[in-house]
Chain A
Amino acid sequence: MASATATEAAVDRAAVFEFLLSMGDNALILGHRLSEWCGHAPALEEDIALANTALDLIGQTQLWLGLAGEIEGKGRSADDLAHHRDALEFRNLLLTERPNGDYGKTVMRQFLFDAWHYLCLTALRDSSETRIAAIAEKASKEASYHLERSRDLVIRLGDGTAESHTRMQAALDDLWPYTGEMFMNEASDAELAAAGVAPQPASLKNGWDALVAEALAEATLKKPVDGYMHKGGKRGVHTEHLGYVLAELQFLQRAYPGATW
């Protein structure tokens, strides 16, 4: 039903669908993780700010998964895709499903993701698929603020007290092995890049390294060396944590299929 653009005709629909799932699932799972803080954050202001970020991400999820369903052409809505897929069918980065930990760890996870998200969305604004470019245009403004905020908090907590510094370094060291996945090219990525639909993941690495290195230096945190990197999220091979996230996220629609407000 969608206007089949030249791009779409040239690129495998399945590859575009998978890509859209990965964008939507990253936002959905991280948005859900952040929502777990609602009512528990260390200060009222932080609580509201995190909830805002979570809502931005859930809003983006609706756009990405909505378009994914449209491209797939099987009549699945964003809600269907969010609530009626099992863990194996989720395409989010493993980083986004990491447990919240303490507040510093949540902030660090957010920063590492935001830096990537911002660069990725900025590149996607030039996508040859105009509907992707339109979503990226809107989402990149939100991501820009998310990054400003999480970067600021990483610097404040890293360069804060001895306690906050120790916690931030521990969070960084713990999460670092989950950052490599953001830049790993899958087979379909070359095809998408060639058609101008999306950037090759690896092409974002230099920009991300520079952005992160600059903030970590200001935060007096030691940037870990790139060692073993976990992967699998983009292929549906997830850690055990995703199952628990989905159990909560999907409970209502699984127990009462089709329930509405």
Chain B
Amino acid sequence: MSSEWPLWEVFIRGQHGLNHRHVGSLHAPDAEMAINNARDVYTRRNEGVSIWVVRSSDIVASAPSEKGPLFEPSNSKVYRHPTFFDIPDEVGHM
């Protein structure tokens, strides 16, 4: 019997200009309540200006077992990092 509410992943945008970040998950019967619950659970300390919720079951994830084939090949491609440029001090943190 599925009396359990489905799981939702919650994404919060902390300030204008920053991306939504994954902050955690919660249970809710539908999207509207998921937003309300996210507001109550994850923005109690003034963390957010915008909330996204996505059903956890709608997220497609890469398989941990494919970590090798997926990610290791990029280990040895240092030339893909723009580390060979001198960045002027005025630019600041990038």
Contact = CB atoms under 8 A, between A and B. Distances in A.
Interface of A: 43-45, 48-49, 52, 145, 148-149, 152, 156
A43 B5 contact: yes
Given A43-B5, A45-B26, A45-B27, A52 B40 contact: yes
12 contacts: A43-B27, A44-B26, A44-B27, A44-B41, A45-B26, A45-B27, A49-B37, A49-B40, A52-B40, A145-B39, A152-B33, A156-B29
Interface in B39-83: 39-41, 44
A45 B32 contact: no
Interface residues of B, number: 13
Contacts of B28: 45
Q: Report the 3 A-B pairs with minimum CB-CB distance, sorted nearest first.
A: A49-B40, A45-B37, A48-B41
Contacts of B40: 45, 48-49, 52
Nearest to A160: B29
B63 to A, nearest CB: 30
B15 interface: no
A234 B70 CA distance: 69
A156 B37 CA distance: 15
A135 to B, nearest CB: 20
B36 interface: yes
Contacts of B27: 43-45
Contacts of B26: 44-45
A15 B17 CA distance: 50
Contacts of A145: 39
B44 A52 contact: yes
B43 to A, nearest CB: 10
Nearest to A153: B33
Nearest to B34: A45
